[in-house]
Structure 1
Amino acid sequence: MQSLPAQEAAGLSALISHLYDAALDAALWPGTASRIAQALGSTSTVVKLHGDSGQVSLLECTSNLVVPERDQAWADEWHRRDLWVERSLAYGMSRIITDEDLVTPEEQVRSGFYREWLPYLGIHHLVGAVFLTAQGAVGVLGIHRPRDAGAYTDQERRQAAVVLPHLQRALRLGQHCATLAQQHSVAMQALDRFDTGALILDGACRILHVSAMAETLMRACPELVVVRGHLSLHHPMLTDKLSTLVHAAWETAHGRVGKPGSALLVPRSRRMPLVLEVAPLRPASGAFGEERPAVLVFLRDPEAPLDVARLRDLFGLTRTEAAVAVALGRGQSPENIATDMGIGIGTARTHLKRILAKTGTHRQAQLVALLTRSMTTMAS
């Protein structure tokens, strides 16, 4: 940018800084096209991707290029048949071009692209480039202005040439950050779907994440409390034990000598205790230093009800057989089940035999273990 006038160089420098900021924070991306247009003395900008299958994705454009819904199908077709993109591909990747390089005045007169599409958008002149992206699609940077504004100059070509590599890097960085964000979101959603509660803590029991099921179990269990953002228990001895378990898992996550994981029982009034298990989450190392380790805490409710509908789907049980299976999973005897359901003990045992046959088990204890392990997966 040393060959550019100071004011133009400062404007491009601010634009480049914004590109990288927007790559790290997607909330800053809207409006980027307007910044590019302003920095290059233009009225519109589009950044888009052309895929192998002919699909076009508009990543960002100025508001004057937004097409009403009624014209969207027509606009999509012109984007797929973009003459400037077709000619730029033949011209070469990452080469700054203008409309004058691509289309002769004689071709403009005959081209529907120039006679229909460009007048609709109110543009005529182009400076820009096509380039490869990390996703394998063809990226397009198009900067435009109307006919009466005049063709782009060599100076403006140089300005676009300054911006292009930074836009490419920012897009790659943004796509990488988006992939990491998606992976994080998927992991958090997976934790939320488990019918076992999950919390992520640091070494001091500070809560970093709580799954939906963990929140539900904690609300229903007064023994589990949160004190200034830290997981604790109402009873001091249990709190000390939890702290010891978490610290040991934290040490293990650091690669030091420590117990890799353990558990404790969280008492509940008139109910079976919750099972709390602790495990280390080892950090991943990267070029910018090692990520902080963490501790994963599972909360399991031994009284959690089995899902009748899911049992029927999984093992092909009838509605009554599924109800009997749920009762067995709660630890009830066939005699108690018969009384609760208002059926004879012989009928209850017949249902049990059918359930054993359908699940491929041979004893009641084996059946209960299978039901518990099969259904302790994901919440509906």
Structure 2
Amino acid sequence: MQSDIPRTGDARAESSPHADPFLQRFELTDVVDLIYAAALGEGASWQDLGDSFMTLMNAQRATLWLGEEPGATGNLLMHADSYDEEYAYRYVAIDPYREAAGKVGLDETVRRRGDIRLGHEIIPDASYVKSEFYVDFGRKSSRRYMIGGLIGTSKVIPLGLHRDVASQPFVEDDKRTLSLLLPHLQRALQMRARLAPTAASLGDGALDLLPLGVIIVDREMRLLYCNAEADALLGDPQCGLSIARHGRGPHTSASRLVARHPADDAQLCSLVAAASRGSAGGGMQIRARSSALTGDSATLSALICPALRHLSSPGQPNMGTSVVGGAATVLARRLLGRAIPPFGLLIDLFGLTRSEAEVAVALAGGVTAEEVARTRAVTLDTVRSQIRAILRKTGASGLRDFERIIALSSTMHTATAGSRKTGID
């Protein structure tokens, strides 16, 4: 496949005098393919991925624990051994790296996405080698040196790679290598969460059973494939996505995917272009139309990912999972309609100013702080100051908690309005 991800040999041979000749032939793109194949259960196992991570990074252990994984309660990246059992039974509670990861919230993980750290950047090396964890367990289980990062899905998930005492420590070049892979692991787990619950096998016909749209486009946004739900979304005039016809005829190759809101279309094109070049893509919300700031709420949640071969060719069996260069997958699902409370209710309930109430309604409608600043012709610092005031006055611990409070306020408003209509006190 064509990709802007460098070959491992090119990236490491120049910077590491101890580079193994095999590593020089090992391509990062092979590991990217394995990431998606393992996460989606299509032609590769988690252990296959773990083996490739350890080969690529010259590590003796790889760790990734997904507690909700069916039938796999331990470390997914390696076959269970006595060390894993000993770790799960006793040493997980005193693992200093896991303890540090546990202190990082999901919102902070999102902000630190792609932030790879060496072991000594998490806990000072002198402290680590004197810890009970290392003295009693880490020394004998090849956990002298560590490199890792955090993945944020529905919870914070730490990924770790470990070398034994006879090895060289991980260095900055290793951080750069892992930083190219971690976003793909994040994206693959998000794809798995959306696709796997409905389709245990993503073979022929399975995609049409999914309750979300699967759209494959090339880097020019030309449609290559749509499943049944995507066809329904694109045919809905209230949906934030549409198709622009180029030329005549019914062929999808003559159609281009567009977002109805210009700002959303620009962001969607940017994410598709990045994913088609080999990056992990990203997520966004898509509004129904281009209109005023207030009341212009999002209708779709979209995840833009690399195009996978078995999704791009669902009618062809045994395709295997690999990334297709020059194309991207858009996974789109409808958002439940959000009732936004009126400005007056927010002012009465929480003592917001009119400006703060307008910003609160915009944020609840899915608009970003940057867009609020641009639309209101104020600085981003001003909007951030208003957001801090909104969080303080509503008692919200963060934007996610704020959305919950707004939803409750909307319910209160709806119930009150219903009581007035029916005469119920």
Question: Would you tell me which structure has more helix in proportion to its own residues?
Answer: 1
Which has the higher Rg, Structure 1 or Structure 2?
Answer: 1
Whether these two folds match at TM > 0.5 is no
Q: What TM-score, normalized to structure 2?
A: 0.38
